Chains A and B, each alone.
Chain A
Amino acid sequence: MLAYILRRIVIMIPTLLIASALIFAIIELPPGDYLESYIAELKAQGESVDQAQIEFLRQEYGFDKPVLERYFSWLWGFTQGDFGYSFEYQLPVSDVVGDRLWLTVLVSFTTIIFTWVIAFPIGIYSATHQYSWSDYGLTFLGLLGLAIPNFLLALVLTYLAKIWFGTSIGHLMDPKYLTEPMSWDKFKSILEHLWIPVIVIGTSGTAGMIRRLRANLLDELQKQYVITAKAKGLKPFKALVKYPLRMSLNFFISDVGSILPAIISGAEIVAVVLSLETTGPLLIAALQSQDMYLAGSFLMFLASLTVVGVLISDIALAMLDPRIRLSGGATR
């Protein structure tokens, strides 16, 4: 087991290296750089551009160095806890992201709980009532959530919330609280706004979860030991919950890998539509304005979280289910 964990951790290093190279390539690929668009913006505003100042900025940010050198200095920064500098905000990346991180975690965490609360009973019910009309109906409802484009649902719900409850449009709180420190009223305002993104993001995820829970549970329910348990007179509820349900929950653990980054990044498009104060819009804006260190470091952060998450889920799975093979077999 220990050897397995160690091996996995060693494998993580090349994975992260590939990821960093890929991310750097992606943010380098679009033509032009942030300085060029910055200069264009200044010119458009009618301000004069001082050539000496541009040269100074270019050197300061290292745009005059070759790509490889910039890549390695960026990579080296990570080991020092330096994530680079955001041109747009004129702040270190960690400061820009830090503020928004907590609200993002709040939204995503609530969403995940919401998804589980919805998907769990429906999945169990569908599996135990396979091919009944209620099974079809509930599956249909779940799929409907998947099928409606998120941004449109977000718009409609915001509009309805405005009409019915008078909730202000967009943002995670009433605009007057945006700059204020945390208070009871601000918290209430956040709660008032929270349900829209939670429902919108949550509905798109429930269908997949219902489907997988249903499929896994159905597989388990057909097995011999369940029939034995029922034949011996175990109550139906216990014959469902005691073993089959627990066995079919393995996929929840293997989901940890994808849930960790999802908590941090949130659903970007919904956040853009609702102009939420989460990290998603920040990332998209950074990609669009070529604020490369902000975008790159954030993507790198997400990639590392996934890799760590996959590791955690693999270890947990291996401990929970001894049948899972630790070594992928190259048997030839």
Chain B
Amino acid sequence: MSTKEANSPIPAPGAAMTHYVSDAPFDPHSIEKLTPAQEKVYLASQWKLMWWKFKQHKIALVSAIFLILLYGSILISELLSPYNLHTRHVNFVFTPPQSVHLFHEGSFKGPFVYGLNYKLNMENLKREYSENKKEVLPIRFFCSGEPYKFWGVIKADFHFVCPPRGGQMFLLGTDRLGRDMLSRIIAGARISLTIGLIGITVSFVLGIVIGGLAGYYGGIFDLVTQRIIEVLQSLPSIPLWLALAAIMPVTWSPLVIYFGITLILAMLDWTGLARAVRSKLLSLREEDYVLAAQLMGAKTWRIISRHMVPGFLSHLIASATISIPTMVLGETALSFLGLGLRPPITSWGVLLAEAQNINVVALYPWLMLPVVPVILVILAFNFMGDGMRDAADPYK
């Protein structure tokens, strides 16, 4: 027998099997051992798993980035807009959007706009603007322009983009008072975007507290809240908004009205969340760990907030995200009916309220442009909400 045969575990053909012990080191956990990649997944926290799952939904990810940028922009609205919110250009009423050019008569000039010629058509009294091809007005960047008060406090005059010296630049046209639409849309974002966020916070808190108590205590408290929710949901929302908005006195300052409108929108939105919280709690309170907590003498509020809510918080956040667009649209609808925000507060709804007759559609279609950010924001919130809902249960 050669040494080679002696070490091999396989016996020679016809020979009996010899006693064999592998000399490799013995590790009893070798089967259960995870690769580093697997280990990372198993040790990851729930929020980390959700983030990984969310990243897979590409459109949701893009939407989230878009929304973050947009919300970032409302911090520096004044810097982004070329003009002030209320600056009137009396010689440029209803100017159509100007286009940005790069080349003038074949030579590169950098971004510039042409000057405007104005003529009143005496036959139909239409204002007609045409480009003055001789006047090249280069756009200025990182420049000092119209002075403004940053967030109404700090005086400054720095803009990222300024109109050319001695000329005008209305990239999205002007409205009936000659105010620059681009600047107004940028400024309107501050109101329109926050109204949804504040509103959803209020309705979120209301929904969790009321739905939580109803779901945990059950019984008579549950019955009463259920009836109230049923009633609130059975009334059409627009008449309710109307009636509530009509309560607010005209003498209130626009800022107070802004918070009032937010509250109204939230008051009618919490019912859906409260229902979701209640039905989740109804099923969760049967769980053993809740019983254990009760036996150990935990207080009701601690059981709800510490043991039960975290179990479905991610679902709640996802469904809250999906209901933010309703608030943005609700604001435009209320402002459209003249019951929402009022000038001088500028939101996208207020801007759209100016586009509410058929003449605008026919003659000054650029007044409808504030609808573009509205659509984009609503789409983004919906896609992000979809992604969050898919990611909400990462163990699935």
The residues of A with any CB-CB pair to B shorter than 8 Å are: 11, 14-15, 18-19, 22-23, 26-27, 29-31, 136, 140, 143-144, 146-152, 155-156, 158-159, 169, 207, 261, 265, 268-269, 272-273, 283-284, 287-288, 295, 299, 302-303, 306-307, 310, 328-332
Contact = CB atoms under 8 A, between A and B. Distances in A.
B239 A30 contact: no
A149 B337 contact: no
A14 B231 CA distance: 10
A263 to B, nearest CB: 12
A192 to B, nearest CB: 17
Contacts of B286: 331
Interface in B219-245: 219, 222, 227-228, 230-236, 238-240, 242-244
B249 A152 contact: no
A29 B378 contact: no
A144 B249 contact: no
Contact of A26 (B240, B285, B336, B382): B240
A14 B383 CA distance: 40
Interface in B366-385: 368, 371, 374-375, 378-379, 382-383
B337 A269 contact: yes
7 contacts: A15-B227, A31-B249, A136-B59, A144-B379, A148-B375, A287-B246, A307-B234
B234 A19 contact: yes
A152 B243 contact: no
A272 B357 CA distance: 12
Interface of B: 59, 218-219, 222, 227-228, 230-236, 238-240, 242-244, 246-247, 249, 282, 285-286, 325, 329, 332-333, 336-337, 352, 355-358, 360-362, 368, 371, 374-375, 378-379, 382-383
A58 B231 CA distance: 31
A120 to B, nearest CB: 20
Contact of A295 (B228, B230, B239, B375): B239
B74 to A, nearest CB: 20
A169 B358 CA distance: 9
Top 10 A-B residue pairs of the complex, sorted by shortest distance between their CB atoms: A306-B234, A330-B218, A147-B378, A26-B243, A30-B246, A147-B375, A159-B361, A19-B231, A303-B234, A268-B238
A329 B374 CA distance: 43
Contacts of A158: 358
Contacts of B227: 11, 14-15, 18
Contacts of B218: 329-332
A158 B286 CA distance: 56
B230 A307 contact: yes
Given A152-B355, A152-B371, A299-B235, A310 B230 contact: yes
A287 B360 CA distance: 28
A22 B285 CA distance: 32
A152 B352 contact: yes
A30 B247 CA distance: 5
A151 B356 contact: yes
A269 B358 CA distance: 15
B236 A265 contact: yes
B94 to A, nearest CB: 17
Given A156-B368, A269-B238, A331-B286, 9 more contacts: A18-B228, A147-B325, A151-B352, A269-B336, A269-B337, A287-B246, A299-B235, A303-B231, A310-B234
B193 to A, nearest CB: 15
Given A143-B379, A156-B361, A149 B374 contact: yes
Nearest to A295: B239
A156 to B, nearest CB: 6
B300 to A, nearest CB: 12
Nearest to A23: B235
Contacts of A136: 59
Given A148-B371, A303-B231, A330-B218, A284 B358 contact: no
Contact of B382 (A146, A283, A295): A146
B355 to A, nearest CB: 7
Contact of A155 (B234, B236, B356, B379): B356
Nearest to B383: A143
B282 A329 contact: yes
B387 to A, nearest CB: 12
A124 to B, nearest CB: 18
Contacts of A329: 218, 282
Contact of A284 (B231, B337, B362): B337
B375 A268 contact: no
A272 B238 CA distance: 12
A309 to B, nearest CB: 9
A149 B361 contact: no
A78 to B, nearest CB: 16
B246 A273 contact: no
Contacts of A295: 239
A112 to B, nearest CB: 16
A316 B102 CA distance: 66
Contacts of A144: 375, 379
A26 B360 CA distance: 35
A330 B219 contact: yes
B291 to A, nearest CB: 11
A261 B234 contact: yes
Contact of A269 (B228, B247, B249, B333): B333
Nearest to B278: A328
A301 B375 CA distance: 34
A26 B375 CA distance: 32
A243 to B, nearest CB: 23
B329 A287 contact: no
A14 B362 CA distance: 52
A19 B219 contact: no
A79 B242 CA distance: 28
Contacts of B329: 149
B134 to A, nearest CB: 36
B204 to A, nearest CB: 21
